Structure 1
Amino acid sequence: MPVLDPRLAGSDQSLSAAYVAAVLPALLAHYGLDEEDILTRAGLDEHQLKQPDQLLPLVDVLRLFLVILDACGDAGLGFETGKRVKPRSYQVLGYVVLASRDLGQAIDRLVRFESLSGKLGQTRLSHENEQVILRWQCPLTGEPARFLVEAAITGWVAFMRPLLPAGLAPLAVCFRHPVPVEPERYADYFQAPVQFSAAFDGVVLDARLLQQPLNTADPGLAVMMEREARELLADFQGSTNLVSVVRSEIYRLLTEGEPGLEAVAAELGMPSRTLSSRLLSRGVRFQDIVDGLRQRLAELYLQDPALSLTDIALLLGFAESSSFSRAFRRWRSMSPNQWRRGG
């Protein structure tokens, strides 16, 4: 199973819990996998997926899907994930897109409000002669990027296909990564030419397709949902993103020792009481963020045989390895060495 870069645990990249909760049951059923077992192996609990307004750290999302990949062995896991996207996978973003008058307005809203589904890649639309190109720019590289790209672009097609008359399809679907195993399943699903090792990740559309009315268009609902989307976006940019910012700051301070609330608040330029209050308003305690980050990092570091338990303890800000071992037993009900040997 690929090993994630520990630096990813300290990033502010994230994905909506609603997206994961919406696609996961059908995806696991497709592979014949047990949800409780998969979540346990990934270090997640069902409660985390039942908070649709919450953003999961990207490192947790990738760990979850790497566990699924290890269990199913399907290199096309991202593609299969995207196929199972539905409007509810994106919550408010999905519904504001559904209510749009035509495909052009739907794409415009996707671009403007995509951060409601998480802080990840960026979508860009460009016009070239009689074609339009919808590109997705992924911030990662390597195998995780391939999974994310296939999930995102396949998800676009899965989302929009039921909203348009039968037979309409992209002119081309493009992926920058090389040809995968079973490339025919991609062409069969997209009903369009699929280009691998392409210059960009995205889809090419006939420009006239942007004028195509959506069969779910609802002008009244569109006004209401656009207003709600704008308000949620403002909230995301103001307070929802605070948890990610705090996590990143804790990651930066870890190697200097135990990262305290006061130190992080000072780095963010606010009183510690204010920071604590703002986090609690999001349903999160500061110490929970510290513990969650330490656990994720510990499990990533333990996959590196060159790091001793003492090395890992220092990287996590513990004063001694015994403190780290006690914390790890609390997280995983086993010692770090037991976990390192595979439980």
Structure 2
Amino acid sequence: MTTSTNNEPKTIFSWASAIALALESEGIDSQALFKKAGVDLVTSSEPSYRIETVKITEIFRLAVEATGITGFGLLAGKNFHPGSFHAFGYSLYASNNLNDFCQRIVRYFRLLSDNGIHTLTETKDDYVLDIEIINTVTCDETIEGWLMAIVQMCRHIFRPNFNPLKVQLVREKPEIGAELFEQSFKCPVEFSSKLNAIHFAKEDMFVQLPAASSELARVNDEIVIQHLARLDRSDIVRQVETKIIELLPTGECNKERIASLLNMSPRNMHGKLEQRDTSYQEILDDLRSQLAIQYIEQDSMSISQITYQLGFTDTSNFSRAFRRWTGHSPSEYRKAKAEN
């Protein structure tokens, strides 16, 4: 069995649960296989419950060996559901559109694994969501399974017949079973690529999703940020985000107060954020802009309520900031949203 250390990257245990479901669907005793891999097949309601990525790799190796299915990761990816990702999953399902959905993956994937970084890029022809793997212990099955999970979620929240324009995989084209990939993704699959990525059609990215709920997404976003802060207490960005969300409605949200709550001086906090290529003001603006759009889409909240909920002193200051973020005033944005 592959060995691991506490310093290796980890992945949310839901991955193991999805693999177990895929094994059972193929008539394989998942308990026995997991025991062979040295992993106890248990479930946990804690979003921070994680397993070493190297162990997931070993489980996948044994699963491919037991089933004879080269693209077994695709089967695991199809067994994810919102609850698999806890608050993150529900936040994804409540996204306003696919762009919003992808931005959440970019921002919060850290809750699922510390072994990958996503990027969403607009090109001349499409939008590309790619994942850069940090540590090579991740296997092909993990990557293709995660991309499959993303496509499955899009089929649930957007439309059942959703297909990407293209999927790129760094892995080489398998000699046997390559057809399973195009059958699953229902689009061209490019093997031996430089990227592991999904290509989205531009016309799909900003269509209002049927189950969109800005309020539900916001509540779960806050839970995700809190879990991320607990998960990695050395992550200064997550710590600052958590405190800003707590203090914004109180009117006492400022750099000095945040630094004090984190037991450091404003200068020390500035230096730590600078090392992460960001600043207190950038984090504050980013969170405010996200929350502002979510609040505006809730008809039950007045502009005045939103103003003070985000810590602005008056509606004119909020309106100027909102126009800077969106190109529209709050009332214009809300009217256009209602008409659409």
TM range (shorter): 0.5 to 0.7
Alpha carbons 2:154, 2:162 under 8 Å: kept: no
Superposed CA offset, 1:277-300 (max 9, x none) = xxxxxxxxxxxxxxxxxxxxxxxx
1:69 shift after superposition: 2.4
Instruction: Report what 2:187 is aligned to.
Output: 192
Q: Does 1:223 align with 2:218?
A: yes
Instruction: Report what 1:157 is aligned to.
Output: 151
Q: Does 1:178 align with 2:172?
A: yes
Instruction: Report what 1:145 is aligned to.
Output: 139
Alpha carbons 1:19, 1:90 under 8 Å: kept: no
Corresponding residue to 1:41 among 17, 36, 40: 36
Superposed CA offset, 1:44-99 (max 9, x none) = 2234x335431111122222222222322322122222122222221111111111
Alpha carbons 1:138, 1:148 under 8 Å: kept: no
> Percent of aligned positions with the same letter in both sequences?
21
Instruction: Report what 2:62 is aligned to.
Output: 67
Q: Does 1:99 align with 2:94?
A: yes
In the alignment, residue 13 of structure 2 is paired with which amino acid? Answer: A
Counterpart-to-counterpart distance in 1, 2:36 and 2:139: 22
Change (3 A) 1:84 1:140: same
1:224 shift after superposition: 1.0
Alpha carbons 2:155, 2:161 under 8 Å: kept: no
What is the TM-score of this pair, normalised by structure 2?
0.63
Instruction: Report what 2:44 is aligned to.
Output: 50
User: How many aligned residue pairs are there?
Assistant: 233
Gaps of 5+ in 1: 241-343
Q: Secondary structure at the match of 1:107?
A: helix
Corresponding residue to 1:20 among 16, 19, 23: 16
1:239 shift after superposition: 7.5
Gaps of 5+ in 2: 236-340
Alpha carbons 2:167, 2:198 under 8 Å: kept: yes
Alpha carbons 1:15, 1:57 under 8 Å: kept: yes
Instruction: Report what 1:246 is aligned to.
Output: none
Alpha carbons 1:102, 1:210 under 8 Å: kept: yes
Counterpart-to-counterpart distance in 2, 1:167 and 1:27: 22
In the alignment, residue 69 of structure 1 is paired with which amino acid? Answer: V
Change (3 A) 1:18 1:189: closer
Superposed CA offset, 1:80-121 (max 9, x none) = 221222222211111111111111111111111111112121
Higher relative contact order (CA 8 A, sep 6+): 1
Root-mean-square deviation over aligned CA pairs: 2.2
Instruction: Report what 1:289 is aligned to.
Output: none
Superposed CA offset, 1:289-327 (max 9, x none) = xxxxxxxxxxxxxxxxxxxxxxxxxxxxxxxxxxxxxxx
1:149 shift after superposition: 1.6
Q: Secondary structure at the match of 2:5?
A: helix
Q: Secondary structure at the match of 1:122?
A: strand
Counterpart-to-counterpart distance in 1, 2:46 and 2:31: 19
Q: Does 1:82 align with 2:69?
A: no
Change (3 A) 1:140 1:234: closer
What is the TM-score of this pair, normalised by structure 1?
0.63
Q: Secondary structure at the match of 1:177?
A: coil
Q: Secondary structure at the match of 1:211?
A: coil
Counterpart-to-counterpart distance in 2, 1:194 and 1:126: 19
Alpha carbons 1:19, 1:117 under 8 Å: kept: no
1:123 shift after superposition: 1.0
In the alignment, residue 50 of structure 1 is paired with which amino acid? Answer: S
